[in-house]
Each structure stands twice: as C-alpha cells, then as structure tokens.
A and B are shown apart, each in its own frame.
Chain A
Amino acid sequence: MPREVDLSSVQPYADHLGDGLVQMSFTLPVPYSLAARKAALELATAMGFEQPEVVHYESLTDGYTYFVMYGRCVASVDFASLQDEGFDIEYMSEDEIERFVEHQLGRRIVVVGASTGSDTHSVGIDAMLNLKGYHGHHGLEGYHSFETYNLGSQVPNSVLLSKAIEVGADAILVSQTVTQQNLHVQNLTELVEMVEAEGRRGQMILACGGPRVSNELAKELGYDAGFSKGTYPHHLATFIVRELAARMSGDRVSAAG
C-alpha cells in the first residue's frame, strides 16, 4: 500500500516517498577530465545536495564539459499552506466557456492581441488567438463567443490601444519575451500607462503572456493577469470570461490566472 504523502513537508520523489532524489544537468566551462568530474561533485555538494553522483559526463566542445547528476535534496516545502493561498482556479473547457458566455454575459467577447515593441516573436500570441491554436486546443478565434484581432508582432503600444478602442475590446492580450536585462519590461508598463492615460483602464482587462511572466510580475507591471508556459487558450478564456462576469456583477472574485 502506498504511503500517504505529508503535504506539509513535500520532497522530490524518485524511487520512494521522501527519498529527495533530484536529477540535474549543467555545463561547466572546464576541459573534460577527472578533475572536471570532481568539480561537478563539489559544486553539487555546495548546492546542498547530499550523496551527489555523476551518472553521465561528456565533452561539449574544447574546454566545456556537460554533466548529468543525481543528488539527494534534504529541503522540503509546505504544500498544504500554498494550497490555501488559492493559486489554482478551475479551468472551464471550450464548451463550458461557450455556454458561460451565452448565459452569463449574453454577448460576444472582443479580444485584441499583439506582440508589442521590438519583440518579433508571435508564437505565443498566435497559439492563444489563432484558430489552429496548439497541442490540439483551438485558439480563441475558434470560439463562437469570441471575436479576436491578432495584430501580429512588433506592434507599437499606441497602435494596439487604438485598435482596442476602435473595436471596443473587452481584453487586450500582450505577448512579450521578458529578459533578465528587463529589455521588454518598459514596453509592457508603457501599455498599461497608456490605457490609463486614455481613461480606459476600468473598461479593459489587460493580460500579458510570455516565458518568464508570472502573476507576481503581472502585478508589478499593472496587468490583471500573467500567463506563462503551459497556458492553453481555454485557460486564458476562462480568466477573461470569469473576470468580465465579476466586473459586470460587481462581485469580488480572485483573479488568479
């Protein structure tokens, strides 16, 4: 019989509960050698892993060695208290969303999206908005209850906002690759500030998405929600329709996305 998991003290799992076993891989800028192997073991110990093991290492190119390692993680996290924080929302399926819009909102939802500024990546916005979507999930264009406008990439904030006002958008969706050097952060905040300057902030849901976008970052940027890797169009749609319904009724609903 499987042992019950202690959710107040969760550790990584490999062979049995509580073994704390972690597999990791990294590259060191040192030549492939026994000294390199020793260096990787010392580094893993310094990271706090117990009983580190190098299971594979190879030369990447001159002066660089790639490692695959195991190590025992002795730290644990309190999952029970995180569950109470309400990070999770239950996502609706495409059909549920269509019915929700029909019965609760009674009109089509207008969404305008773009990759803004100098960002040339339109993969994220296309996956969310275009009919073909990804991983077998339609983009919002394929929903009867959504009217979508995908402006593509390298769109100035002022042009995106102008289109959103023109078509009476309920939500603006911005896709952006946030880098460690903050290159695109200013561009994301500028859109929020421009919507404020136009006096439209209360009328529009602002959502941003990208590989490094979290709800914490979305909060700092001034967006209503942030979506990262692993987001499907129906996740985004669930957030938009619930938030619209909450705004229409004046209800207080958490916007965890």
Chain B
Amino acid sequence: MASLSQLTASARRLALVGLAKNTGKTVALATLLEELGAAGRRVGVTSVGRDGEQHDVIDARIDKPLVKLGAGAIVATTDGLLRASGIPHELLARTGARTPLGEVLIARMKGPGAIEVAGPSTASEVAQAAEAMLSFGAEQVLIDGAIDRRAASSPDVSDALLMSTGAVLGDELGEVVARTVDAVALVRLPTVPSDTAAGRRLHELAAAHRLEPRSLLVGAGVERDPSVLPPRFVLSAQATEIGSLVSQHPDADTLLVAGALPEAFVRDLALAARRGQRELTVVVADPTRAFLSERGPEHYRRQGVAIETLRPVDLRALTVNPLAPRSHSFDSVEMRALLGQAIPGLPVFDVLHPDYGAAQQRPGPDRAAADS
C-alpha cells in the first residue's frame, strides 16, 4: 500500500481537514512531514488554525503533537511563534495577514526543530501564502485545517484533500462511520458535466454571474432565460417563500446557488419538491459551499433534491483516530474495515497503528513499486 505522502505527492497544495477536533489531523500532518523530510522534499507548511501548540485550546488536558520541520522547510506563521520556536530562520516575506495572534510571516528554517504554526485564517490569504511558499521554492505546500473548518479544501485554495475522522464523532462505531460517510459524500458531490448542453449552460451561467453573484433558477429548456432570485434568498427565505418559488416555476429543474447553501434551505426545498412531485438539482460552486451537518446529500436526493457541484474536490485519502481523548476508543482495524466497506475507492489509514509503519518500512523495491 502506498504511503500518505505518496498518495498525495502530485498535489502542489494539499489541504488537511478534520471532521471535528481531535480527529488526528495534526498527527497526519506530522506523518506527512516525516515522510516528505525523509524523501528530501522541500515542504511549505501553514495552518488555518494553530498547530504544534502543546495543549488543546479548549481542553488543556489534551496534549497535542508538535510540528517538526527540517532545515530548508518554509513556514507561514506569526512573528511571535517564529521567535518562540528558537529555530534559526530566514525571513522571506511579510504577508500582511493579521490574525488574533499577530501578523503572519513567511520564513525558511535554517535548522530542524519544533514550531507552532499559525498561518492566515481566511481562504484568500491562505491561497496567497501557499502561492508565496511555492514561489520561494517549496515543492509541496501542506495547509492544515482547524477544528472542522473546510474552506481551505476549496479548489480556489488547494489541489487535493486529506480528510481525518475519528472516534470523537460518536459513542458508537456505527455512528462514526455514518457521519464520516455523509461527510465524504458531501466532499464528493457529483460534478456538473461540461460535455452535455445542459451542463455547459450551467457552467456558462455561473461564469457570467461571477462578478455579481446571484442565485438563478434554471428551466429545462436550454433557450429560456433563468430567473434571478432575490438577494440572500438562499440564506434566509422562509419555507412558504421557497414553496411559492417552486410552484411559480413549474419548468425549473435546477437552482444555481451563488454562495452558501444552508441545510435549512435544502430541507425546505425538499419539502416543496415533494409537495409538487418535482425533482430539483441544486448546484453549488464547490463542496465547501454546502452546509449539511444533520443529513448527508443522499438523504436529500431521496427527498427529491440532488446537490451537485461545478468544481470537484480531489479527496485522496482518509485518516482515522480510533481514540476519543479522555472518552472511548474503537478497534482500529475494525474501524478502518467498516469505513473501507462503506466508502469504496478511498484509502483509509491509521498512521499511528503498527501496521502503517510496517507497510512503509519494507525494503526499497516495494516503495519503488508503490511510486509507479
């Protein structure tokens, strides 16, 4: 089996996203850094939150793994944290990105050491910091998430995604698997095809409205003009307004959403679709725009509302933490087996389990074979 770093090697900007706190995201980051360091790859690292802090910010009883970087690594973190690390470094750029912990700088490590990483928080600033690190010679930039924040996995910011899940999601293994399945389904929303007339039209409409984003209701007939929804309709419309919108447009089959898609809207739209015996497709710009925390996309598809995306997120692998800090734990092998069955085609790792290390420490030929 290929290692985490091999599976993600082709992504110049890799986002790491956890489904909650303490799902082992930073452990996955540490594993990647170790593997990339051993392979002699120049990495750039940033975090939308904080990484490498000694204790958890909410529960101080939870110890956190440190972020260890080798000489030559590039990092985006705050002035104070750079100094506190005590690692000799070369300042490459000031980003101007302000965070509650100070301004973010970009620096090259002149020696190895452990450092707390707190880079820019906003998606556009993260994208800029990643570009800057690549331009300073990083071969791959790792963008660590925070808590359950997903914005850095948007195709505007990163090229591929590594997702982390863990026992902390539920007391029962079945619940953890179900919630992970929903989260993966959300990331892997079907992409609107660009090789059909209807699909091409949606891509064109979205591009045409990029500067002045408004949500559009699109009918089956390709020639007919779409209806422009009132501002903020998707964010705050009541169920009755959604119901009348649907009934007033009997030919409409697709809703192109300009910004965020809240779950309340999807729920009310599903209600309207069922009443009118309609089937509707809701299209978002990318999976980070859809906010489903109660049910997965499959639930709403069965209710008559399919959710699709204009641009996909390239999910490469899933890491699991079978341990919920100070609570319960599951059997790692069983957990991975169940997740593997429920989510076909997605490699699942527990990087702290002995079998991960064993698979990666086989002599040369195996690793070479996995590379190819």
Contacts and interface: CB of A to CB of B under 8 A. Distances in A.
Interface of A: 85-86, 156-159, 161-163, 165-166, 178, 180, 182, 185-186, 189-190, 192-194, 196-199, 201-202, 212, 214-226, 243, 246, 250, 252-257
Contact of A221 (B147, B231, B289): B147
Contacts, number: 143
B161 to A, nearest CB: 15
A207 to B, nearest CB: 9
B20 interface: yes
B50 interface: yes
Contacts of A255: 98-100, 102
18 contacts: A86-B80, A158-B236, A158-B260, A158-B265, A165-B231, A165-B235, A182-B21, A185-B147, A194-B262, A196-B122, A196-B123, A197-B151, A197-B288, A220-B146, A223-B100, A252-B94, A252-B98, A255-B102
Contacts of A256: 100-102
Contacts of B59: 180
Interface string B262-286: 1011000000000000000000000
| Dominant secondary structure of chain A at its interface with chain B | helix
Nearest to B149: A189
Given A159-B235, A193-B150, A221-B147, A182 B20 contact: yes
A66 B55 CA distance: 30
Nearest to B99: A219
Given A190-B291, A196-B288, A159 B98 contact: no
B139 interface: no
B151 A196 contact: yes
A257 B58 contact: no
Contacts of A226: 100
A158 B99 contact: no
A186 B21 CA distance: 9
Interface string B224-244: 000000011001100000000
Given A198-B259, A252-B96, A193 B53 contact: no
A198 B232 CA distance: 10
A162 B236 contact: yes
B98 A214 contact: no
Contact of B149 (A193, A202, A250): A193
A158 B232 CA distance: 9
Contacts of A162: 232, 235-236
Given A158-B265, A182-B21, A197-B259, A220 B98 contact: no
B23 to A, nearest CB: 12
B148 interface: yes
Given A223-B100, A250-B96, A158 B147 contact: no
Given A194-B291, A199-B259, A243-B98, A165 B232 contact: yes
A219 B289 contact: no
A219 B124 contact: no
Contacts of B96: 250, 252
B48 interface: yes
| Dominant secondary structure of chain B at its interface with chain A | loop
Contacts of A223: 100, 121
Contacts of A85: 80
A255 B98 CA distance: 6
Contacts of B265: 158
Given A156-B262, A222-B48, A254-B103, A217 B58 contact: yes
B259 A86 contact: no
Contacts of B48: 222
A222 B146 contact: yes
A16 B151 CA distance: 53
Given A192-B149, A197-B259, A255-B98, A216 B264 contact: no
Interface string B52-72: 010001110000000000000
A134 B103 CA distance: 32
Given A198-B259, A220-B49, 5 more contacts: A180-B58, A193-B150, A222-B122, A222-B149, A226-B100
Nearest to A226: B100
Contacts of B232: 162, 165-166
Contacts of B261: 197
A190 B98 CA distance: 21
In the A-B complex, the 6 residue pairs with the smallest Cβ-Cβ separation, listed nearest first, are A197-B260, A220-B49, A162-B236, A198-B259, A158-B262, A215-B100
B115 to A, nearest CB: 15
Interface string B91-126: 000101011111100000000000000100111100
B236 A224 contact: no
A199 B146 CA distance: 19
A186 B293 CA distance: 9
A161 B260 contact: yes
A158 B262 CA distance: 7
Contacts of B235: 158-159, 161-162, 165, 198
Nearest to A212: B58
B291 A254 contact: no
Interface in B209-236: 213, 231-232, 235-236
B100 A225 contact: yes
A191 B277 CA distance: 33
